[in-house]
Every structure is written in structure tokens, then in C-alpha cells.
Amino acid sequence: MEITGTNALVTGGASGLGEATARHLHARGARVTVFDRDAERAAAVADSLGARWVTGDVTDEGDTAAAVDAASSDGPLGIVAAVAGGALGGGRTVARDGTPHPLDSFRGTVDLNLVGTFNTVRLAAAEMAGNEPGEDGERGVIVTTASIAGYEGQIGQIAYGAAKAGIIGMTIISARDLAAMGVRVNCIAPGTMGTRAWDLAPAEMREKLEAKVPFPPRFGHPEEFAALVEHMATNRYLNGQVIRLDGAIRFDPK
């Protein structure tokens, strides 16, 4: 998959890892569409790039279909980076006072991360299936976003860890499902990444977390995530893979 001249859709593209990905792909010559529920921020990022933007919710079929349509309005949709996600409150399976984890927050976190990612994958792949095949018969590539919490989630991350584990598990299955269409699917599982949200954290907390990363002992840069998206897009033999981007850290229980 060539980056230059290719239409790319980035969900969650208005901030954090998604914004870094949108900017990186644009710098490599892609025609980027930013899809995010924060309309003001999506417009600001897109306008700074001269790109398109669509506001909406990745869990909504109509909103996501509209984003796919916008991203393919002037040419084939070749690259999708499904970055939208997050945690809607944490908590233990049963709290110390005996209260069960709220079902609504668990369901909401799973919807935002797992269901939202699946919604993006299925609608984008259906669009890509109509593209003219390129080298090796490739019609498109999708990169999803999990987390190392999907492997060793910490105490209090039952909802987030379960949702991200679902995305990890979906990777090889969707890659096999879409092989006949010439659409590749890969996944990035980031560790602690230095997005703007961490700028609000106390310096002592940040330094303590960074010291736990074996090498290099720091948070990952969003641009390093974006560079891995680019590699997954351009390396045609990379398919059905989940790559940890974490400096070799393994989360402690808490």
C-alpha cells in the first residue's frame, strides 16, 4: 500500500495517538479524513492539514458509514487507522465494600472500544472490497488499536482490559475473514504513551511510571505509534499481527 495519494480514514483523529497518526499520514502524502466525536477539535486538526473531517460516534452505524463515505468520496479508501477508544471509568470486579462493578460502565467501555472498532472494520472493509486490486491483489489495510492492558490489565481495569483483549482476539480472525478480499488487518497494542492527557498528571507520578519501562525508560511518543501505522500499511506481508509498542514493559498487578 502506497501512502502518497491514498485516501486514509483515522478514527479518534482529533487528539492523542489518532491526531499523531492523521498528521503523520498527511505528511506522507495521504488524503486524510479525521473522524471524531469532538467536532471542534476535529475541525481544528483537519483545517490545519487541509483535510476532511467528520463528527460522530464510532459505535453508531450511520455516523461511521458517513465517515467511510467521506473518506472515499474522491477516490478509493486504502488505509484505515481505528484509534478511537478509551475508558469510561474503572473499578474492580467487586469493590472492597462488596459492590459489584457497575454494568453500565463495563458495557459502555466495551461498546466504545471493541464494538466501535468492529463497526469501523466491517464498514471500511466492505468499502475496500470494491477497490481495484493492487500488487499482490491488495485492496486496503486496516490498523486497529488495542493496549497492553489487553494482555496484563491491572487491578481496576476489568472493563478496559476486556475490551482491548477483544480487539487483540479479533485481529487474526478479521485478517482471515478479509483475506479473500485482499484487505489486511493488523493491530497495535501500546503501552504508556505520552499523549497530552499525561501533561496534566503530577510529575512524580509520570516519573515513577516512566522508570518502570525497561528501555527506553520513558513514555512512548505518539509519533512512534504513527510510524508503526505507516509500516503496517506499507509492508504487504504483515497481516493478522498484534505488535506491542511498549518499551518491553509488563504491567504490574496494580
The catalytic residue positions are 160
Place of cell 491483489: 137
User: Which residue in the block uniquely carries the three cell numbers 515513577?
Assistant: 208
Q: Which residue has the cell 480487539?
A: 167
One-letter amino acid for residue 167 of the chain: I
Residue 144 burial (10 A CB sphere; 0-12, 13-18, 19+): buried
Within 8 A by CB and 6+ apart from 202, the residues are none
DSSP string for residues in 154-211:
PTTBHHHHHHHHHHHHHHHHHHHHTGGGTEEEEEEEE-SB--GGGGGS-HHHHHHHHH
Contact 186, 241 (CB under 8 A): yes
Strand 52-55: give its sheet, edge to edge. 52-55, 31-36, 7-11, 77-82, 140-145, 183-190, 242-245
Give the distance, in angstroms, between the CA of residue 78 and the centroid of all CA atoms in the same chain: 16
Bridge partner residues of 185 (DSSP): 142
Among 173, 114, 182, 184, residue whose Cα is nearest residue 146: 114
- Residue type present at position 224: E
